[in-house]
Structure formats: C-alpha cells, structure tokens
C-alpha cells in the first residue's frame, strides 16, 4: 500500500459572534484518492453500499473487502448518518462518508483519519464557536463581579489562554471596582 495523496484544505469563515475572519488548514486524503489507491492495490476488492431510511434520517453503510476471492481477506464497514433534508447531494455525501470511513479503517488515508473533510471542518468550526461562547461567559462573569475579591477569585480559576482573551475586560472591571471603593 502506497501513501495516499494528501490535499490541503483551507476553510475561511466569518465568526458569527465576533465578526472576525477565521481560517483553518488541514491535510486530508480525499475519498476519491483513497478509492483510487484501493482499486490499484486490490483489483479483486469489493465495495458494497446500502442505505436505510429511518423517519427523517438516512443511514448509509459501506462494506469493503480487499479480496473477494480470499475468505481471510481484510474487510471493514463504515457508516454515516444524516438528516434527509431534501438537499440534492445528501445521498452521495453520506455514501462517500461511509465509504471513506471503511477505507480509513483498512488503512487508506493519511494517518488513519476516519472523519470526512466536511466533518473536520464542522468539528473545528464548532470548537471555535464553543471557545467564543466560553469567552463571552467569562466576560459576563467578570461584569457580574461585585467586589475586587470576587474578581480575584474568578481570575485565579481561569486558564492562561482565557486570561489572555479577557485581560482588557478584567482590567476595566478592576478599575471600576477600585473607583467604587474609593
């Protein structure tokens, strides 16, 4: 098995809460490159996909056998589920995700990734959203501090990264509380 071709994917988006432009770059083995490698390595291989409709969900299954003539051949099954939202490519997307997972389980893919590029983008965007929400919560908690001691206690429980993110808010609140006590 040779090394699957990697594609650099760069995703840019505008953060909904801060308005800042964000970006991320990942190295990813596209499913079509994994398939090409599999077909080259395993000319007797087999890929069988199927789906089920359950209420408003689609569940795809992709079963891959490296050599259908060898009963001891390596095989793997990948699954993907999604909402049947009526979009044009929902079936193709879910089938591709399921097949990509099965190929990754057989070792086709960079560093053994199993998630699709869309799932990675979604995960990273969700991670960023959670980070921004946490900053907003801490900023609100700083604003709710009634005394310098409250502020000091809150500050001591924050991570270094969080302190960097909310330092200006903390300093402004500290000045406000100092002025109120004087």
Asked, for residue 85, whether it belongs to a domain, the answer is yes
Phi and psi at residue 160, to the nearest 5°:
-60, -40
Model pTM score = 0.55
Question: What is the percent of the chain where pLDDT is above 90?
Answer: 36
The answer to whether residue 45 scores a pLDDT higher than 90 is yes
The pair of three-digit structure tokens given for residue 15, joined into one six-digit string: 């953060």
- The order of strands in the sheet holding 75-83 is 46-54, 57-65, 75-83
Q: What are the tens digits of pLDDT across the range 138-157?
A: 999 999 999 999 999 999 99
Asked, for residue 64, whether it belongs to a domain, the answer is yes
| Residue 155 shares a structural domain with residue 121 | no
Q: What are the tens digits of pLDDT across the range 73-121?
A: 999 999 998 888 888 788 898 999 899 889 988 888 755 456 666 666 6
Q: How many domains does the chain have?
A: 2
Residue 11 structural domain? 7-126
| Residue 40 shares a structural domain with residue 117 | yes
């Amino acid at each position: 098995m040779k090394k699957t071709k990697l594609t650099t994917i760069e995703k840019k988006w505008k953060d909904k809460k801060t308005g800042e432009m964000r970006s991320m770059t990942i190295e990813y083995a596209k499913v079509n490159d994994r398939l090409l490698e599999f077909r080259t390595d395993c000319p007797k291989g087999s890929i069988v996909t199927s789906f089920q409709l359950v209420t408003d969900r689609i569940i795809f299954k992709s079963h891959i056998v490296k050599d259908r003539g060898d009963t001891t051949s390596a095989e793997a099954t990948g699954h993907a589920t999604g909402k049947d939202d009526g979009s044009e490519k929902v079936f193709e997307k879910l089938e591709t995700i399921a097949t990509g997972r099965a190929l990754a389980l057989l070792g086709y893919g960079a560093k053994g990734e199993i998630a699709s590029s869309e799932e990675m983008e979604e995960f990273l965007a969700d991670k960023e959203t959670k980070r921004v929400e946490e900053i907003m919560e801490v900023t609100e908690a700083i604003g709710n501090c009634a005394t310098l001691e409250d502020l000091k206690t809150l500050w001591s429980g924050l991570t270094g990264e969080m302190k960097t993110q909310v330092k200006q808010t903390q300093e402004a609140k500290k000045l406000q509380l100092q002025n109120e006590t004087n």
